[in-house]
Chain A
Amino acid sequence: MNNFNDKKNKALKVLSEPKDSKLITYLNSCVHCGLCAESCMYYLTTKDERYIPAKKVELVSSIYRRYCTFTGKHFPKLTNARELDEELTEEMTDLLFGACTLCGRCTKHCSIGIDIAYLVREGRKMLTEMEIIPASLQSTVNAALTTGNNMSIPTEEFTDTLSWLEDELKDEVNDPNASIPLNVPDVNVLYTLNPREPKFFPLSISAMVKIFYAAKESWSLSTKMYDVTNYAYFTSNNGEAATIAQRLYDEVRKLNAKRCVLAECGHGSRAFRWEGPNYLMRTYPFEVLTSVELLAEYISQGRLKLDKEKNKELITLHDPCNLVREGGVVDEQRYVLKHAASRFVEMTPCGTDNFCCGGGGGQLAMSEYNERRMKNAEIKAEQIRKTGASIVVTPCHNCVDQLMQIDNKFKLGVKVMTLSEVVADAIILE
């Protein structure tokens, strides 16, 4: 039992010694208006009230009241304050890990602006302090920590893959000197990858290297640290998240690149660009941007010549939650598609109000909650079906995988592509 008490005390420190003043404000603010309910896919697809975002907030704030407020300490029943016991940790695990994609849609709809997804992450942090973490999620973090990438790809296999892709590039652009530069210092752009690209889905690498070639970019990949993902963001283990972010930081510094460009990866962009400075407690002495912004920049500066008639099929766009709601990268992907594709249709809703694909927040990796994830997917499937599009484009590899599963399960008959793949298909080489 002592064991549990030790862990409990560690978890309570998340609330009693908050790292951020907004935590307490948010924990004290919910007015129970219920407006957030309709924003959450988990609630919408099941009508199960446990899934209402405010209930997730309540889990964390009831503990806060019990241990950190006068009335809660002395009259817990009066304030619905709850003891952090095993039963509650099970409930928290089930709802905060198992029933939230950290999509942030509820945050946007909350009548008083509570950052609900942030409170869910703080709740996850408490569980992580107690070492209660879904096994599938932690094993991906461990793979990254011990092997340098989250799919444990050996360096030799990685370089073999790149030289194979380099041969394809030479063929594609009909230039025997075309190359994929590795570990080159002092370049303009150090590019990153989601390990699933070299491992299983390299079309997006082929697309980006063709784009760099066409834009005559000075760029490189690192064979030591190229992984854009950071699964410790999902477990809210800030120490581990910092270790992973630090590695990328060090590699950009070592190679002395001017810009670090993040591959099409929503949570990875968030973890390095927007959360990273907090994890590392420093600002970056180099520029960090997403590949979506880079593509928009190339097009606006005339560095890519595109023929949008090369992409004739009707395309729709799925906005990754982290890019639109956290990063404010909303117009760039539309600007790119306007120039790279001839027929485009929006989903409803879209942009900052878009629904999550269902695979965010680490859900894609957590087989424990697979059934719920695919139940949520009903919403995205319907959204896609209504557009009538035959291609769904999304600048996030995690979303790509979830969308492929949605396509298969709901028999949509659509093709899923990344943004760079659409752009690469439209390129005219001089």
Chain B
Amino acid sequence: MFENKVPTKLFTNMEIDGKEFQVDGDGFLSDPYIWNEEVARLFAKYDGIEELTEKHWAIINFIRKNWEEKGMAPMIRSICQITGVKLKEIYQLFPLGPARGACRVAGLPKPDGCV
């Protein structure tokens, strides 16, 4: 019983455009497997990205694929090299950066570390 008091990851509900999502305190999806393209669009909108362009999708899909295959977010080098999007452009496409921006939109859990 005492062990249960240890703070574990808490989830809350977040509403975007009338749709409810269960997310962690940072807004990352609690269950990465319920992710689909609509989730991506809504999460992006929440961050102020009104429209997902082809470049956005190339990045999102690659991050998603890497996570499904290797269980982690890809290195920024791979994102640049596989999608052909220039580094500085990635930060423009996702103003919150590859982790809190792109990985969150791609439905991944929050990466550890200073992000």
A199 touches B5 (CB 8 A): no
Give which listed residue, B78, B81, B97, B112, contacts A404 with CB less than 8 A.
Answer: B97
Q: Does B52 contact A (CB under 8 A)?
A: no
| Residues of chain B within 8 A of A157, CB atoms compared | 75, 77-78
| Residues of chain A within 8 A of B75, CB atoms compared | 153, 157, 160-161, 198-199
Cα distance A22–B112 when bound, in Å?
34
Chain A interface (Cβ within 8 Å of chain B)?
A: 3-4, 7, 86, 89-90, 93, 97, 131-136, 139-140, 143, 150-153, 157, 160-161, 164-165, 194-196, 198-203, 229, 265, 364-371, 397-398, 401, 404-405, 407-408
| Residues of chain B within 8 A of A86, CB atoms compared | 2, 5
**Minimal Cβ-Cβ distance residue in A for B96:** A408
A397-B26 contact given A4-B2, A89-B5, A368-B7, CB 8 Å threshold: no
| Residues of chain B within 8 A of A194, CB atoms compared | 113-114
A200 touches B7 (CB 8 A): no
Give which listed residue, B6, B87, B113, contacts A140 with CB less than 8 A.
Answer: B113
A161-B96 contact given A135-B7, A139-B112, A151-B111, CB 8 Å threshold: no
Interface residues of B in 1-30 (CB under 8 A from A): 2, 5-10, 24-28
A135-B8 contact given A152-B72, A367-B25, A368-B25, CB 8 Å threshold: yes
Cα distance A407–B96 when bound, in Å?
9
Q: Does B110 contact A (CB under 8 A)?
A: yes
**Minimal Cβ-Cβ distance residue in B for A158:** B75
19 contacts between A and B (CB under 8 A): A132-B5, A152-B72, A157-B77, A160-B75, A160-B77, A161-B77, A164-B81, A195-B114, A196-B114, A198-B75, A199-B99, A200-B99, A367-B28, A370-B25, A401-B115, A404-B95, A404-B97, A407-B95, A408-B95
B9 touches A150 (CB 8 A): no
B114 touches A90 (CB 8 A): no
A195-B95 contact given A136-B9, A153-B75, A160-B75, CB 8 Å threshold: no
A367 touches B24 (CB 8 A): yes
Q: Does B47 contact A (CB under 8 A)?
A: yes
| Residues of chain A within 8 A of B25, CB atoms compared | 366-371
A199-B113 contact given A368-B10, A404-B95, A408-B47, CB 8 Å threshold: yes
Give which listed residue, A198, A203, A229, A370, contacts B26 with CB less than 8 A.
Answer: A370
| Residues of chain B within 8 A of A397, CB atoms compared | 114
New A-B pairs, 6, CB < 8 Å, besides A157-B75, A199-B76: A3-B2, A135-B8, A150-B114, A151-B111, A164-B80, A364-B114
Decide if the interface of chain A is mainly helix, strand, loop or mixed: helix
Q: Does B98 contact A (CB under 8 A)?
A: yes
B113 touches A195 (CB 8 A): yes
A132-B7 contact given A153-B75, A202-B76, A404-B97, CB 8 Å threshold: yes
Give which listed residue, B73, B88, B114, contacts A365 with CB less than 8 A.
Answer: B114
A134-B114 contact given A86-B2, A368-B25, CB 8 Å threshold: no
Interface residues of B in 74-115 (CB under 8 A from A): 75-78, 80-81, 87-88, 95-100, 110-115
| Residues of chain B within 8 A of A7, CB atoms compared | 2
A365-B113 contact given A164-B81, A404-B95, A407-B95, CB 8 Å threshold: yes
| Residues of chain B within 8 A of A160, CB atoms compared | 75, 77
A196-B113 contact given A161-B75, A404-B96, A404-B97, CB 8 Å threshold: yes
Tell me the smallest distance from the CB of B16 to a CB of chain A, in Å: 15
Cα distance A19–B14 when bound, in Å?
45
The 3 closest A-B pairs by CB, nearest first: A367-B25, A370-B25, A367-B26
A203-B112 contact given A3-B2, A161-B75, CB 8 Å threshold: no
Cα distance A164–B113 when bound, in Å?
23
B5 touches A152 (CB 8 A): no
| Residues of chain B within 8 A of A369, CB atoms compared | 25
Of the listed residues B7, B76, B87, B99, the one surrounded by the most CB atoms of chain A closer than 10 A to its CB is B7
A201-B76 contact given A368-B7, A369-B25, CB 8 Å threshold: yes
Cα distance A8–B59 when bound, in Å?
49
Tell me the smallest distance from the CB of A152 to a CB of chain B, in Å: 7
Cα distance A365–B112 when bound, in Å?
7
Cα distance A207–B112 when bound, in Å?
24
Cα distance A161–B100 when bound, in Å?
21
